[in-house]
Amino acid sequence: MGEVLGLGVTHGPFVIFPPEELPIIWSRSLKKAGVPEDLQDPANWPDALREEWGDDEGLGAAIRHHTSLVEGFRKVRAALDSFNPDVIIIFGDDQYENFNDDVVPPFCVYAEDEYQITPFNQRNHLNTTRNIYDEDPEWLLKVAGHRQIGKELASHLLNNDFDVAYAYRQLHHPFGHAFWRTVMHLDVDRQGFPYPIIPFHVNCYGSNFVRNKGGPASNRVPGSEPDPPGPTPRRCFQLGAEVGRFIKESPYRIAVIGSSSWSHAFITEKNHFLWPDVEADRARYNELAAGDYQAWKGLTIDQIEDSGQQELLNWICLAGALDELGLKPEYTEFIETWIFNSTKTMAIFK
């Protein structure tokens, strides 16, 4: 029987980029077309948002946010090193990177020997090439894959009626942000990353994947029709449970990671695409911290999209595996923000 460690992290860009650049996110959001005129006045912002912005235009909050994230990743990395896995399965989303108009699978298992990217000359959410390491833009990140276990995982899922795609090479992009950022954040102190990974794509953006080109609603062509939906929360939970059964039946030590922030301001329409649905995130966090994974199985796509929580699907896959494997929360942390696009959650499950 295989051994397992469950982890939950964010792949938001904020860990490896300078915290003093974070406040530009809120300033830039206010300048977008369609923002109600009354919201230009801080007096009309939610109290928690105004307090976070403070009298220093978010600088102190940015430093605290960055510090909390780094400390959270250090805790998760310590658990990973102690477990010393044979391979890591990472549930992550694609944002019009490897997949675009020609094919959009609901799920895809990558089975490659190695992944490479130059992360600091890629366009990122902060629109900056600066990084906390002062690393050259052409610095190359290399991460080992595990072709054989990836093939075994895809075969197990297909043999058990989960019609996942699989890939032996990338299609349009060398290494998706959800996966390379997860690795870089887990190696924030640059001690090296010896563990091979199996990136597991989940189509989180569903009906807005192509028409928003994997990004904010502002990318959308006016009048465009919705795309076909992504997988439902129930199906993500079921798939995660089957991944859990694969782990139990395997001879391997496997760490399984759900990687994403939760509600994203740039897709939360009811908040004018300015701040995330912090209340909904807090409700999901309370369920997670209590080990009530089944609560997530009953969520609907309408609930997910109303709260801008599309990327929560990555964690719902994780929750299905946790439920099947009987893993309980050992450490959870809710890193709240109203001005830095998305609240982040960190977790360890044993």
**Residue among 200, 157, 143, 169 nearest 314 (CA):** 200
Please name the residue ranges forming H helices in 107-232: 147-159, 177-186
Structure tokens at 285: 């966090």
- pLDDT value of position 122: 64
Contact between 338 and 23 under an 8 Å Cβ cutoff? The reply is: no
Q: Which residue has the tokens 């139990």?
A: 248
What residues pair up with 346 in beta bridges, in sequence order? 333
**Residue range 134-171, pLDDT digits in tens:** 998 889 999 999 999 999 999 999 999 999 999 999 99
What residues pair up with 332 in beta bridges, in sequence order? 347
Which DSSP string corresponds to 12-40? Answer: -GGGSS-GGGTTHHHHHHHTSTT--GGGG
The count of structural domains within the chain is 1
Beta-carbon contacts of 177 under 8 Å, excluding residues fewer than 6 positions away, are 11, 13, 95, 97, 122, 124
Structure tokens at 68: 């909390």
Beta-carbon contacts of 94 under 8 Å, excluding residues fewer than 6 positions away, are 176, 178, 201, 203, 214
Q: Is 314 left (phi over 0), alpha (psi -120 to 50) or beta?
A: alpha
**Residue range 302-317, pLDDT digits in tens:** 999 999 999 999 999 9
Tell me the residue type at 27: S
Beta-carbon contacts of 78 under 8 Å, excluding residues fewer than 6 positions away, are none
**Residue among 280, 318, 302 nearest 10 (CA):** 318
Contact between 346 and 335 under an 8 Å Cβ cutoff? The reply is: yes
Contact between 242 and 157 under an 8 Å Cβ cutoff? The reply is: yes
**Residue range 333-348, pLDDT digits in tens:** 999 999 999 999 999 9
Q: Is the pLDDT of residue 124 over 60?
A: no
For residues 220-244, average pLDDT:
94
Classify strands 344-349 and 329-335 as parallel, antiparallel or unpaired.
antiparallel
For residues 6-11, average pLDDT:
98
d(CA 16, CA 44): 32
**Residue among 161, 311, 160, 316 nearest 248 (CA):** 160
Structure tokens at 148: 């054989």
CATH number of the CATH domain containing 190: 3.40.830.10
pTM passes above 0.95? yes
d(CA 257, CA 199): 10
As a whole number, the mean pLDDT across the chain is 94
The DSSP H or E segment spanning 254 is: strand 253-259
Beta-carbon contacts of 71 under 8 Å, excluding residues fewer than 6 positions away, are none
Structure tokens at 50: 């105004």
Q: Domain residues for 311?
A: 3-349
Contact between 22 and 58 under an 8 Å Cβ cutoff? The reply is: yes
Higher pLDDT among residues 293 and 24, named by residue: 293
**Residue range 36-93, pLDDT digits in tens:** 999 999 999 999 999 999 999 999 999 999 999 999 999 999 999 999 999 999 999 9
- pLDDT value of position 22: 86
pLDDT above 90 covers what percent of the chain? 85
For residues 196-217, average pLDDT:
91
- pLDDT value of position 127: 64
For residues 185-190, average pLDDT:
97
